[in-house]
Amino acid sequence: MTSAQVDKDITPEEGYERGLGSRQVQMIAIGGAIGVGLFLGAGANIAKAGPSLILMYALAGVIIFFIMRALGELLLYRPVSGSFAEYSREFLGPFFGYFTGWTYWLMWVVTGMAELTAAAIYVNYWFPSVPQWVTALVFLVVLYVANLISVKLFGEIEFWFSMVKVTALIGMIVIGLGVLTFGFSAAGDTASVSNLWAFDGFFPKGIGSSLMTLQGVMFAYLAVELVGVTAGESENPEKTLPKAINTLPWRIALFYVGALTVILCVVKWTEFAAGVSPFVKAFAVIGIPAGAGIVNFVVLTAALSSCNSGMYSTGRMLRTLADNGEAPKVFTRLSASKTPALGISVSVAFMAIGVVLNYVVPEKAFGYVTSVATAAGIWTWLMILVSHVLYRRAVQQGRLRASAFPAPGGAVSSWIAIAFLVFVTGLIAYDADSRVCLYVMAVWSVALGIGWAVLKVRNPQVTERRAPELEKVG
């Protein structure tokens, strides 16, 4: 047994609470489906695809459900912290566990950059003269300080942040339906379901242009898998996890497909543009200035909430990697307040690159960081799906026990999702603006490959395949 294994056996989760109740897990699951990709990114995608964006969100939503059901089956087979990396390690080998853990860390770091960029754009709504990079830097520092004391409050803080997002979105949908039904407000005369096809059709820019938005759409769904991590540490994952995942279809139908449908019926798609939240724009057109300001505040808190979660997740992921001997051992240490302070600090230092991007290329910062986050997220999802396919094969061969939460369609659903993600990767490669993320991922892969080679020389036991440890959860 290696020293890393000994340390893991002694203190596998020292300092981390396993006290997330069903109420928090459910609301975090709902809030995870509502982020900057919807609140801000949808504006640029509407301009590219028109009303057909609704169909793209629905299509991607089906794939996300397949991914989450695959993850759910794995988590009920073996609930573990750092689940994506652990399943990759078990079914594909130690290198894939190492690569997936670090790439998921990268995804959250880059997502944090995107959230900071979005928050800076939201603040420009009130203070257009303040440079984006200044606002991004202020938020980065404030969230960093707050995150060092947020471990015990994490579930409760995210519960209330999610509650704000959900309540606001439902309110927007109700007001939009009221405008459509009763014709009140400044938009009442032009609001109509026919807006979905009246301006150059449902596919105004062509099907090809609509498909090109899928990369942005997939970014909007990043973090839905976070419920797998939180549920893996909940009081009763056998009950909370299936419930959280099975509610995903109606969350997607309501918050993405439903909200966008209502907005595009109230305001014609030609009035939306990149860099402006479609929800803020819709309220401005309706003629409720205060409403637009309130919505802007809501989406600002949503961005900061996601960035806060990202800081917490990255610090935790670094500690998990260190626990497995795949990152410097110093990251296993906890501060006096029981937070992985060093891991958070290093992650925040990398998130500061987003501040630099906001200074150098403020108009392109959001697009760059979202494409890199999407590429990292696609890798994570692919590892979940491939692990699920291999797990189902092992179950059929009688080598592993069956999960209490089998995915509908079994491995077939996972193969469909894998094909879809490969297709989206091809779209990213085709688009000149987003292609940069593949170059970043290539450099990232080389760096991780070098790191693995060094690790193999210094601590060869870590790179050897070993039987999975069944952790007690709850």
pLDDT classification of 4: cutoffs 50, 70, 90: very low
Task: Compute the distance between CA of residue 422 and CA of residue 47 in angstroms, rounded to an integer.
Answer: 25
Global pTM? 0.85
- DSSP assignment of 334-376 equals --TTSS-HHHHHHHHHHHHHHHHHHHH-TTTHHHHHHHHHHHH
Give the number of domains in the chain.
Answer: 1
Q: Residue 289 pLDDT more than 80?
A: no
Taking 3-state DSSP, the helix, strand and coil percentages for the chain, each rounded to the nearest 5, stand at: 75, 0, 25
- Is 445 a member of any domain? yes
CA distances for 119 relative to 16, 213, 307, 318, 430, angstroms: 29, 22, 10, 25, 29
Residue 466 domain flag: no
Asked if 365 and 115 touch (Cβ cutoff 8 Å), the reply is no
Q: Is residue 470 part of a domain?
A: no
474 within a domain of the structure (yes/no): no
Q: Which CATH number does the domain housing residue 358 bear? A: 1.20.1740.10
Residue 209, domain member (yes or no):
yes
Specify the pLDDT at position 82. Answer: 62
**Of the ranges 98-112, 223-237, 353-367, which one carries the lowest mean pLDDT score?**
223-237
Do the domain assignments include residue 274? Answer: yes
Contact, 54 vs 181, CB < 8 A?
no
Asked whether residue 266 is domain-assigned, the answer is yes
Q: Tell whether 226 is covered by a domain.
A: yes
249 has pLDDT over 70: yes
Long-range contact pairs involving 454-458 (C-beta distance under 8 Å, separation at least 24):
455/98, 455/325, 455/326
Query: Which residue, chain included where needed, has tokens 């990079």?
Result: 133
For 82-110, the DSSP string reads THHHHHHHHHT-HHHHHHHHHHHHHHHHH
The domain in which residue 262 lies consists of: 17-452
Place 292 in a pLDDT band, splitting at 50, 70 and 90.
confident
**pLDDT, averaged across the chain:** 82
Chain centroid to CA 97: how far?
Answer: 19
The CA distance from 414 to 63, in Å, is 9
Dist CA 367 CA 274 (whole Å): 10
Q: Kindly give, in sequence order, each residue whose CB lies less than 8 Å from that of residue 330, ignoring residues fewer than 6 positions away.
A: 322, 342
Provide the pLDDT confidence category of residue 8 given band limits of 50, 70 and 90.
Answer: very low
Crossing angle for the helix pair 259-266 and 42-49, to the nearest 10 degrees: 60
